[in-house]
């Protein structure tokens, strides 16, 4: 199996969540059947959303992320990933600075949604991700319709991410429900948790069979791309 390299710390809890999901999704009967993983946890990387929204007054996260990617490759990683959706705004620069495959969680998430027949996706993500149209462009490219929250809805998304999850608090169920209802009102038959912090929303707060977690999609692809065996129950994430 190939060794997985993880650009971690973006944020720290999301990185821990990815590792947990990889272990849970791997069909292993002993320690030796799990993936070898190298994690470079770098929470001091400048905030991705802050730079995208105000590059004149914020530091670029790209140099440190590229340094991390190269370090992981040097240490022997055969597949790389970054459990941060907003970081994928720099995917071309990140994947281009190494010679090993770099998993694209935005592209993989769109393919997973399309695979199970969903037609229109509500995008719940950081303002930086929404601003750069990462998901919107990829969904359109793969033939999916999409919708994004209203201005107030997007403010609520950012509150859930920055004022609750990143502070170690449980997300407000009423806010999550209101966001899902807003997406349904726009005709969405699916919502994507398009920020790895949103992966920490308890599943009972989300519509059954109507949401997909980009983090889960990434974890699934990490297992298969590195040559691990995927547990059968995780073949379908929707």
Cis amide prior to 11 (ω within 30 degrees): yes
Spot the catalytic one: 89, 195, 222, 226: 195
Question: Apex CA 168: angle with CA 162 and CA 174, to 5°?
Answer: 65
Q: How far apart are CA 92 and CA 90, in angstroms?
A: 6
Q: How far apart are CA 94 and CA 185, in angstroms?
A: 37
Q: What is the full DSSP assignment across 26-91? A: B--SSGGGSPPEEEEE-TTSPPHHHHHH-TTSS--SHHHHHHHHHHHHHTT-SEEE-S-SGGGGGH
Please confirm, yes or no, whether 180 is among the known catalytic residues. Answer: no
- Is the Cβ–Cβ distance between 157 and 225 less than 8 Å? no
Please confirm, yes or no, whether 188 is among the known catalytic residues. Answer: no
Spot the catalytic one: 84, 89, 188, 222: 84
**Strand order across the 4-8 sheet:** 37-41, 4-8, 79-81
Residue 230's φ and ψ, nearest 5 degrees, are -90, 135
Question: Tokens representing 78?
Answer: 């055969």
DSSP class of 204: G
- Which residues are annotated as catalytic? 84, 195
């Amino acid at each position: 199996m190939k060794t997985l390299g993880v650009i971690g710390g973006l944020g720290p809890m999301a990185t821990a969540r990815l590792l947990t999901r990889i272990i849970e999704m791997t069909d292993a009967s002993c320690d030796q059947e799990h993936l070898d993983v190298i994690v470079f946890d770098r929470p001091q990387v400048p905030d991705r959303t802050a730079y995208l929204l105000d590059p004149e007054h914020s530091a670029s996260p790209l140099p440190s992320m590229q340094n991390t990617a190269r370090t992981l490759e040097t240490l022997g990683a055969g597949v790389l990933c970054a459990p941060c959706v907003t970081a994928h705004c720099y995917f071309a620069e990140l994947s281009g600075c190494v010679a090993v495959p770099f998993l694209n969680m935005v592209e993989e998430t769109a393919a997973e949604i399309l695979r199970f027949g969903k037609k229109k996706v509500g995008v719940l993500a950081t303002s930086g991700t929404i601003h750069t149209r990462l998901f919107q462009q990829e969904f359109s490219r793969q033939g999916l319709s999409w919708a994004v929250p209203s201005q107030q809805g997007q403010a609520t998304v950012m509150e859930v991410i920055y004022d609750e999850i990143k502070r170690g608090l449980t997300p407000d169920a009423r806010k999550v429900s209101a966001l899902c209802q807003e997406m349904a009102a726009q005709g969405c038959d699916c919502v994507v948790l398009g920020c790895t912090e949103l992966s920490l929303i308890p599943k009972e707060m989300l519509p059954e069979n109507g949401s997909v977690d980009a983090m889960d999609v990434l974890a699934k692809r990490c297992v298969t791309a590195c040559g691990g065996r995927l547990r059968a129950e995780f073949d379908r994430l929707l």
